[in-house]
Structure 1
Amino acid sequence: MSIPEKQWEVRLAKHVEDDLTLEHFDVVEVAVPEPGDGEVLVRVDYVSVAAAFKDFMRSDCPIPGVPPWKVGEPAGAGGVGTVVKSNSPDLAVGDLVQSFGPWQEYWSGPAQQFIKQNPQYVPSPVYFLSQGPTAYYGMATIAQAGEGDVVFVTGAAGGVGSLAGQIAKARGAKVIGSAGSQAKVDWLVNELGFDAAFNYKDGPVADRLRELAPDGISVFFDNVGGEQFEAALQAARPHARFALCGALSSQTGAAEHPRFDLMTAITKHLEIRPFACYHLPEQIQNWVVHFGQWLQEGKFVFPHTIVEGGVKAAPQALLSLLTGAYTGNVTVKFS
């Protein structure tokens, strides 16, 4: 296998203050590293793209425990790739591996920083890059959705929401999703098996929830915030559980932060459960076990979009994701 001397790398050109643009990125040519003793060289095949990356690009990254990306250094993400050179007995040329690394075409490092994966477990390597650990942790562990629950998922056509809704269905709940177009609404119901879905742009969200959940919602899985959060407060049953995963409406500048009706939350005894998932080994394992089982049983669809164009396409893919251009999990094909 021929290994080039040079590769393309995407770096952060400046920190984000308001809107994210292509000017926040630089694409530069750098040398392909030579692995040392105990190290491997990996050709990066796919990397994931997520809305949280915009927060990483702020100098005051609001995610606790996560340092912001540094200007002049590569952007980074989870990815899967193929070992093309090995100086370690732990990994062989041709092995499929998963890790976190910079947006560049080749990664090099100690063999132990790469997780060897079995491609026979899934139809495609991109399945290893799902937002499933976050969706499962939020829906199963935080919200504890199950039989008898009526679940409302915002951003339901996104990488986390599309999985969270299916997880709730697999656990016996009725699921309602919101999305930003009729095509996405139809996709949620016809392809992913949501019980109902609506376009949040078509009118007051509170009205749609009264129509679709006349007895109220018992679980709210929020990826968006804004008006939809406010509507969920009004639609909530007593003791409803709110699993707060994201705030895309404020991340994109599309809306102000939601107004929190404290008195409604108090009188309804609502359980507000914000959370973050750091894809710890046990969180990944909890997801993988159920994901594989549900896929085999035909209860689950892995919704995903693959963006072609190599490493240079990654910045535009992130911008497009933030504007709702894709459905499901988003990965960029690097090679």
Structure 2
Amino acid sequence: MKTIAFFNNKGGVGKTTFTYHLGYSLETLGKRVLFVDLDPQCNLTAHIFDDNEINQSWGPGGNSIHKAVEPIISGAGDFKTIPPHKVSNRNIWVFMGDLLLTDFDGELSSAWTQILAGQERGFRVTSAIYRLINEFATKNNIDYVLIDLGPNLGSLNRAILLGCDNFIVPMIPDLFSLRGSQNLGRVFADWIKNYELAKARIGSVPFNIQNGKPIFSGYVLQQFNVYRNRKTKAYAHWGSQIPHYVQQYVVNPLVAIDPNLALNLQNFQVAEFKNYHTLLPMAQESLKPIFELTSQDGVVGGHFQYVDDCKAEFRQIGKKIITLI
């Protein structure tokens, strides 16, 4: 099992779209996939399930990710084991997102202070979602856990990133995406160093905790426009600067504390995903990936070529991810 988090400090970079399509592509390649929606916007959940299913997961007896940590938030105990929702006729499971998960941030903030002080409760709270995910994934032979995170450097994302095996940074080629990358490596390196010191301070605890060694596994260039088979000039201009920014602000701070914290990738780009324009809202409406759209979903004329292109593109990306991670 490999756990991959998709994260960028800047929103609007197509993170959820890429995560969703990659997961479905991996499943078509024979892998068992668990999605975990930890972005408060819940876009990944909304891309897979209709409103009735989401409402049920939020109601009494539901199985949103918030339900699992409610006992911690209320002070009643450890996390509650809940089953993720299985996608019909697919080897895909989903821990649904929930806007109320932001309630857990306060607990995680206090828990980090306790971790730094070497207190067991801090590790118990911080590892709760990590243990929930691993408990299900281990019992059900999951191959890939794909985690969608919100665009911030808050307590929840810190807890999750310290527990993932790999993280990938989706980016779009613009000034703001470059700017958003400038504090990633520095902040992550601080988290990792402090967590290592805290683990050494407490020694051992009677439950599983995060390894605390997330490996940077490249960036995804996406939402670039193509004109006559060439990227438009503005996007090409900003896109050409990404490898330098990633090297300086993400890779260098991480490998300075551990040379194994970044995969050895040429220019650090793991994939690229172009803008499919009107097909994306069509896919969202149909609750399926772009590469599975049909005429019954509204695909006509030249759209069929885009559907085929998307299928080939993500099949190649999926195979690359399997090889790398």
Q: TM-score, normalised by structure 1?
A: 0.29
Higher RCO structure (Cα 8 Å, ≥6 apart):
2
Higher strand share: 1
Larger Rg: 1
